[in-house]
Amino acid sequence: RAALGASLPLLQRDYRFERVWFWGCIQGLRGAYYIAEGLGPNRAAPRSRLYSLNCLDWSLLTPATEEMLAVAEQLNGRFQGDPSFEYNLAEINAEVAARLTEGGKEPVIKEEARLTATIEQIDRAVGIVPRGAFVKTPLGSVHENRHFEGLSLLEAKKLSSYFHFTEPVNLKNKTLLEKADLDPSTDFLDSLEHDIPRGSWSIQLEKGGTVVVLRSLLWLGLTFYHVPMTKQFGYVYFGTGEKNLDLPFML
C-alpha cells in the first residue's frame, strides 16, 4: 500500500495521465500482477493499462484486440505470475492453433497478452459506475459530472441505478418508446438490471447502511462500492482472473 501510494503519482506524471486508477490485482501461482489504469480527458476513450510485479516498476500493456480476446477465452486455469510464460494453443484448442498457423503466426500466446485480454473482459463485463456520475457531451466525449452528488439510499439499492462503463449493447436494441424516458446525456450506457444470468450481482449494505457494496458472482473478486449522497464510488478486482462459468448452475 505504501509502495502504491508513492509510485502511482509518479506514474501519472511520467505518462502524463489526467488521472490514474488502481484497478486491482490478479493473483498468479508464482506471483501477483498489480494493475493500474491511466485516463485521459475523455473517460470513454480506451484506457492505458499498466502492470507491476512489485508495485514500483510499471510496464505498459498493449491494447487488447478482438483476436487476442478470442484466443484468451480458450485458456483455462490459473495465471502463472510470469509475463513471459507461453501457453501452447496446440495443446488447448487445435482449431484455433491451426487458424493462427495458417495466418503465419505461432500457435502460442504469452501470459502478458492473456493478462491484457482478461482485464479487458472484466472491464467490459463488470466495470460499473453509478447513474449520473458521467455525462456525454453533444460531441460524443464523456466527462465526469460535476453536479453528481451521489445516489439516494433508495436509488442506491436498485440494480437499475448502475451502468456498465463500456460501449452499450442493449441500449441500441431499445425501441423509441423505451428511449423516450431516458436522458441522452446521462442514460447512454447499459443498466445492470438486464444482465445475464439474472442474479449475477449481490447488493449489500455495510457500515450501518452508509456504504452500498455490489459484488459480481460472474467474476469473483470484483467489488464495487458507493457512499450514497456523496461522490465516492469505485471498483477494485482481487482474484485469480478466472470467470465463474458454473454460475448459471449455482443460481
Q: What is residue 26's predicted lDDT score, i.e. its pLDDT?
A: 92
Is the predicted pLDDT of residue 50 greater than 80, yes or no? yes
Give the lowest-confidence range in 39-43, 46-50, 112-116, 158-162: 39-43
Is the predicted pLDDT of residue 235 greater than 70, yes or no? yes
Q: Which helix (H) or strand (E) holds 116?
A: helix 111-126
Q: What is the mean pLDDT of the chain?
A: 83
98-125 pLDDT, tens digit per residue, is 776 776 677 778 889 999 999 998 988 8
pTM value is: 0.84
| Confidence band, pLDDT 50/70/90 cuts, at residue 176 | low
Distance between CA atoms of 134 and 46, rounded to whole angstroms?
Answer: 16
Is the predicted pLDDT of residue 178 greater than 60, yes or no? no
Domain ranges of the chain: 1-126, 128-244
Is the predicted pLDDT of residue 226 greater than 80, yes or no? yes
| Confidence band, pLDDT 50/70/90 cuts, at residue 43 | confident
81-98 pLDDT, tens digit per residue, is 888 888 887 776 677 667
| Residue 175 near residue 166 (C-beta atoms within 8 A) | no
Distance between CA atoms of 189 and 208, rounded to whole angstroms?
Answer: 30
Distance of CA 197 to the CA centre of its chain: 18
Q: What is residue 172's predicted lDDT score, i.e. its pLDDT?
A: 58
Pairing of β 233-239 and β 19-27: parallel
Give the lowest-confidence range in 108-112, 135-139, 236-240: 135-139
Of residues 215, 51, 29, the one with CA closest to residue 120: 51
Q: What is residue 237's predicted lDDT score, i.e. its pLDDT?
A: 93
- Tell me if the bond preceding 197 is cis, omega within 30° of 0: yes
195-206 pLDDT, tens digit per residue, is 777 888 888 888
